[in-house]
Amino acid sequence: MLDPFGRFYRDNLHMLRAYVARLLPGSGDAEDIASEAFVRVFAATTPERPVPPRAYLYTAAHNLAMNQHRWRRVRATLDMDDEAMAETPDPAPGADRDLIARQRLVLLWEALDQLSPRTRQVFVMRKIERLTNNEIAERLGISVSGVEKHVLKGLRSCRAYLELREDCNAPVGERERSGGRENGSA
């Protein structure tokens, strides 16, 4: 015989999965999100109220699905950035290309030094060591969404630093066209 929450689970599982599948078509995450919603709802039960309202279950599932959707968009943006950087042709020949690459590497390490220790650690693990978000989360004992937030923060900070440094190091004519002054101040 099932307890009250067991019956609640049995009676709502199929419909909840279908609801999440409609929210995230083609994602294959409906099962995981439905399970997580039940876990959260179960955590909110009390002896006085062993079965919360059904609306609470659907609200939890909806919020989890929307979070998943948002993080997919963030991941897609990060992956597009990786692809765009990999596909950018390098027009500089031989020794010039090596010098430019070394200068960019120095700038990248300077940019990384500007990050907080945790953001730098997560960013390096993701972008340089090429670990997955799940692997990083597991190793560092943080959530996957925490990993994604650190990577996004690191990406934005590094870009801003590199853009600022490249603008300051541009020839005088190029700085004037971009609004900078000769001494690099605005």
CA atoms in the 13 A half-sphere facing the CB of 121: 11
In the chain, the DSSP E strands lie at none
- In tens, the pLDDT along 49-107 reads 777 778 888 988 998 888 887 777 777 776 665 555 555 555 545 667 667 766 776 77
Q: Which residues does 40 contact at the CB level (< 8 Å), separation at least 6?
A: 60, 64
Count Cβ atoms below 10 Å from residue 57 Cβ, excluding itself: 25
Helical packing angle, 144-168 and 133-140, nearest 10°: 110
Give me the half-sphere count of Cα atoms (radius 13 Å) on the Cβ side of residue 34: 19
User: Is residue 142's pLDDT more than 90?
Assistant: yes
**Greatest CA separation for the chain:** 81
CB atoms inside a 10 Å sphere around CB 65: 23
Q: Sorting pLDDT into bands at 50, 70 and 90, what band is 143? A: very high
pTM: 0.41
For 94-135, the pLDDT digits (tens) are 667 667 766 776 777 788 888 899 998 888 888 777 788 898
| Domain ranges within the chain, ordered by starting residue | 4-69, 90-177
Domain 90-177 has CATH 1.10.10.10: yes
